[in-house]
Amino acid sequence: MKLTVDNVSRAFGGVYAVRDVSLTVPSGELRAIIGPNGAGKSTLFALIGGQLAADHGTVALDGQPVERLPAHRRARHGIGVVFQAARTFPGLTALENVMVGAHATTRAGFLTAALRLPRHHREERLIRERALTCLDRTGLADWAHRPAEELPLGQQRALQLARALCGRPRLLLLDEPASGLRAAEREHLATLITGLRAEGLTILLVEHDVAFVMRLADRVTVLDLGRVIAEGTPAEVRADPRVIAAYLGPSTEPPTPAPAPASAPAPAEGAGP
């Protein structure tokens, strides 16, 4: 799925969080969004996902404008979202939490479900099988029947990803998915994201961990004070003076010490002035 964001802005109390942002993410690309705190990354994320409405500008999926659609309608168009905060449905098992993610792809209507007709049973069985596959893929197969709120933080983050995948997205929005994860969990996440990209899924990744971003992204867009200040490959962005000044900072490598000046030879004993 191709994502096109054109001249999008959103202000809060007269202060722009995102201002005139445009970007195009081709189908199958992993695009990272980076920038300092307050740069507008999460706001842009919400404007694409439909959690916020833009003041002006357009958001299009495969050329079809969706900026006027609410989040659940955008999900039906193929957007899957993994939020920064781990969100679960208390009282439901991990499996049931993941099955909720298929809501955008269900075909049985309210009456069919209420009357428990055969079509509803068939669809529920297929969704359950799909959810189990997503749990297995995210390393949560052994947690399937545990209450979701009992899962540790790392597993709750993985649960969100499994839930999003259960909806069969064509565009996956990841808002700081590596935040708070241990090294082994980050490595597993990186491997999973790489696999999803290889399957042709378009991915938009908002992340503070620059090293994590640079190893995964095809291209990187950098925001500062709500505006795009740079865009390019990870190597191009890392070397951009505007990005270094606004976000990455100068190299932290210690300077090479200058060689000590050679000391003058001591005068020979008895030598006069």
Give the 3-state secondary structure of residue 232. Answer: strand
Which one has a higher pLDDT value, 259 or 48? 48
Q: Is the pLDDT of residue 272 over 90?
A: no
Predicted confidence at residue 54, as pLDDT, reads 96
Which of 149, 168, 187 is at the close of a domain? 168
Q: State how far the Cα of 136 lies from the Cα of 128, in Å rounded to an integer.
A: 12
Q: Which two tokens stand for residue 271?
A: 């030598």
138-164 pLDDT, tens digit each = 999 999 999 999 999 889 989 999 999
Q: Which two tokens stand for residue 13?
A: 């109390």
Number of domains in the chain: 2
- If asked whether residues 72 and 192 sit together in one domain, one would say yes
Tell me the C-alpha to C-alpha distance, in Å, between residue 240 and each of 31, 91, 200.
17, 49, 29
- If asked whether residues 121 and 161 sit together in one domain, one would say yes
Tell me the C-alpha to C-alpha distance, in Å, between residue 172 and each of 3, 29, 102, 126.
11, 11, 14, 22
| Predicted confidence band of residue 119 (pLDDT cuts 50, 70, 90) | low
Q: Is residue 52 part of a domain?
A: yes
Q: State how far the Cα of 262 lies from the Cα of 273, in Å rounded to an integer.
A: 22
Predicted confidence at residue 3, as pLDDT, reads 98
Whether the Cβ atoms of residue 247 and residue 34 lie closer than 8 Å to each other: yes
4-28 pLDDT, tens digit each = 999 999 999 989 999 999 999 999 9
88-108 pLDDT, tens digit each = 898 999 999 999 999 777 665
Neighbouring-strand partners of residue 82: 174
221-247 pLDDT, tens digit each = 999 999 999 999 999 999 999 999 988
Q: What share of the chain is helix, strand, coil (3-state, %, to 5)?
A: 40, 25, 35
Predicted confidence at residue 248, as pLDDT, reads 78
Q: State how far the Cα of 231 lies from the Cα of 210, in Å rounded to an integer.
A: 15
Q: State how far the Cα of 107 lies from the Cα of 170, in Å rounded to an integer.
A: 18
Predicted confidence at residue 22, as pLDDT, reads 97
Q: Is the pLDDT of residue 123 over 90?
A: no
- If asked whether residues 50 and 158 sit together in one domain, one would say no
Q: Is the pLDDT of residue 62 over 60?
A: yes
Encode burial over 99-120: b for 16+ CB neighbours within 10 A, e otherwise.
bebbebbeebeeebeeeeeeeb
- If asked whether residues 59 and 186 sit together in one domain, one would say yes
Q: Is the pLDDT of residue 40 over 50?
A: yes
Q: Is the pLDDT of residue 259 over 80?
A: no
- If asked whether residues 111 and 230 sit together in one domain, one would say no
Q: Which two tokens stand for residue 75?
A: 């999900």
Domain coverage including residue 25: 1-78+170-250
Kindly state the average pLDDT of the residues 22-35: 97
Give strand ranges (E) for the chain. Answer: 3-12, 15-25, 30-34, 56-61, 64-65, 79-82, 171-175, 202-206, 219-224, 227-232
Kindly state the average pLDDT of the residues 27-46: 95
Which residues, 6+ apart, have CB-to-CB distance to 114 below 8 Å?
none
pTM for the structure as a whole:
0.84
Predicted confidence at residue 104, as pLDDT, reads 74
| Predicted confidence band of residue 39 (pLDDT cuts 50, 70, 90) | very high
Which of 168, 196, 220 is at the close of a domain? 168
- If asked whether residues 49 and 161 sit together in one domain, one would say no
Predicted confidence at residue 240, as pLDDT, reads 95
Whether the Cβ atoms of residue 175 and residue 145 lie closer than 8 Å to each other: no
